[in-house]
Structure 1
Amino acid sequence: MSEKSLDKKGRWRSVTVGFRVSPEENKQIDTMVGLCGMTKQDYITSRLLERDIIVNGNPRVFKALRNTLYDVLEELKRIKAGDEVEDELLDTIRMISWIMEGLSHEAR
């Protein structure tokens, strides 16, 4: 059993919540989690409770951005061949754009 931990407000996180997703949904969630640099638990909790997602630029986030941009490029090459654009790709591109915009504001 995993160790109990406190949230940012000092409350014990002692309740487990579980749900099923498709492999495609899981991949998309993992991509978003990697791009944000958060734990999966914190990302999902923040999204469900409609809290702001704050991305702090660090080597892990930049590596995830680089890898995801490579995956997007490969997918765009496939689309160029006449295939259809998937909603997951558009969501990923939107997330990358949002993160890059936020990082560029931090650099100013």
Structure 2
Amino acid sequence: MHIATYPAYAPGHIAALLPDDGSGRAFQLLVGTNVVGRGFDTAFRLADPGVSRQHFDIRWDGHTAVLVDLGSSNGTTVNGIRIDTSWQLVHGDQIRVGSTLVYFNVG
């Protein structure tokens, strides 16, 4: 597991995923597990054939966000590094799944 050396975010911060697809969509993370994938049963759907139905999840507790790949077929990278287990996200991280690039933002 990659652990960032940055401090956890202060309570009350909002975390969001922003796909770089020109759609202007944003997905605000809820406290708990947020599953991202191609399936209709996910919290945040990415209509990309290179994305698994349940590709990864982000566990957000209001302070820290941890991305976990859910055994996806094509893998997940954060800032160009393939994630095998989990990764603690920091503001501005770039998540690539299939051909889709998603930014992690905290504000």
More strand by share: 2
Q: Give the number of the structure whose alpha-carbon radius of gyration is greater.
A: 1
Fold conserved (TM > 0.5)? Answer: no
Normalised by the length of structure 1, the TM-score is 0.21
> Higher helix proportion, which one?
1
